[in-house]
Amino acid sequence: MRRKMIAGNWKMHGTKEFTKKFISDLETWLDSEETGIKVSEAIEDKEMEVVIAPPFTALDCAVFSRITGKIRIAAQNAYHERKGAFTGEISFPMLEELRCKYVIIGHSERRHIFGESNKILEKKLIAALESHILPIFCVGELLSERESGNMEKVLAEQLSSAWWSLTSDVVAEMVVIAYEPVWAIGTGKTASSEDADDACDYIRSLAFDKFGAATSDSIRILYGGSVKPENSRDLLSRENIDGLLIGGASLEVSSFKKIIESAL
């Protein structure tokens, strides 16, 4: 059974104060309320992971304000070079020092607002793995690409460019893929659970073609795009969706908790 992942991407939101309070409220729930305790048991039994990705400035606060190890911390990005004259960038060894477990790579906002290419994202993926920070690698098509029947082509290009040099063991054990159709991110338009599952199934078939059955059975594939407490259970009930990457609805403990509960 693949371990479910519920991951909150805070984007450019969240001060240190906000982060401390969020973690404290979430940990209190995990330790004291009935559903929180069930989630804690699922985490301990390795059936579920709960991840939050605050901005860089709050990462140390997130990592060190946790009292238990139940919440994992992810960075939202990093640069592939280890050090050097790259003003404004953060390297993977810097994230390693902060004890970040995961890093989001290739989020559509990085691809489309900051112009990150498949080539750069391949380098970032490799650099993350070299630093033993587990990548949550995002892929997804634009609305125009879906409407012109090119969704599969786009996903295949994004993935083949990213993982061509990786081994099946590394992909199976260390890489998480997030399918995030660009037209569903922050727009309130969620892909139907059937469409999301079909796209995740297609991604799994790409993993099968490249790495074989063991990897395609074990790789975790998340869905992201306007996930809310009202649609999370339906999405998570689908065979190929192993978790959710959540933007807006991860910024309030109350809605994030409801989404986590729906993974039980």
Q: Which amino acid is at 106?
A: G
Closest CB 181 distance from ligand PEP, rounded Å: 9
| Closest residue to bound ligand PEP by CB | 247
What minimum distance in Å lies between the beta carbon of 108 and ligand PEP? 7
Sort 3 into a burial class: Cβ within 10 Å, 0-12 / 13-18 / 19+.
middle
* Residue 151: its H or E element: helix 151-163
Instruction: Report in angstroms how near the CB of residue 32 gets to ligand PEP at its nearest.
Output: 27
| Among 54, 140, 225, 243, contact with ligand PEP (rule: CB under 6 A) | 225
Distances from the Cα of 246 to the Cαs of 70, 153, 190, 204, in angstroms? 18, 25, 11, 21
Q: Which two tokens stand for residue 221?
A: 């594939």
Q: How far apart are CA 50 and CA 40, in angstroms?
A: 10
Tell which positions 81-110 bind ligand PEP, by CB under 6 A.
107
For position 231 contacting ligand PEP by CB under 6 A, the verdict is no
Asked if 199 is part of the footprint of ligand PEP (rule: CB under 6 A), the reply reads no
**Should residue 55 be labelled a site residue for ligand PEP when binding is judged by CB under 6 A?**
no
Please tell me the number of Cα atoms within 13 Å of 84 on its side-chain side. Answer: 6
Residue 180 in contact with ligand PEP, rule: CB under 6 A: yes
212 binds ligand PEP (CB under 6 A): no
Q: How far is the CB of 211 from ligand PEP (least distance, A)?
A: 25
Let me know: does 220 contact 3? Beta carbons within 8 Å. Answer: yes
Question: Is 8 among the residues that bind ligand PEP (CB under 6 A)?
Answer: no
User: How far from 45 is each of 4, 63, 226, 259, CA to CA, in Å?
Assistant: 11, 22, 29, 19
What distance in Å separates the CA atoms of residue 195 and residue 34, rounded to the nearest whole number?
33
Give yes or no: 112 in active site. Answer: no
The CB-of-217 to ligand PEP minimum distance in angstroms stands at 25
42, 127, 246, 259: which one binds ligand PEP (CB under 6 A): 246
Applying the rule CB under 6 A, the residues between 107 and 146 that interact with ligand PEP are 107
Residue 197 sits in the site that holds ligand PEP (CB under 6 A): no
Q: With CB under 6 A as the contact rule, which of the stretches 15-23, 126-134, 229-237, 240-248 interacts with ligand PEP?
A: 240-248
| Lookup: tokens for 246 | 């959540």
List 49, 80, 107, 109, catalytic entry? 107
> Tokens standing for 72?
């994992």
Is 239 marked active-site? no
**Stretch of residues binding ligand PEP (CB under 6 A), selected from 27-35, 67-75, 118-126, 224-232:** 224-232
What is the SS3 assignment for 90?
Answer: coil
Pull the structure tokens for residue 121: 């994202």
Q: What is d(CA 23, CA 26) in angstroms, rounded to the nearest whole number?
A: 5
Strand, coil or helix: 80: coil
Nearest distance from residue 179's CB to ligand PEP, in Å? 10
- Catalytically active residues, by annotation: 107, 180
| Interface contacts to ligand PEP, rule CB under 6 A | 9, 11, 107, 180, 185-186, 224-227, 245-249
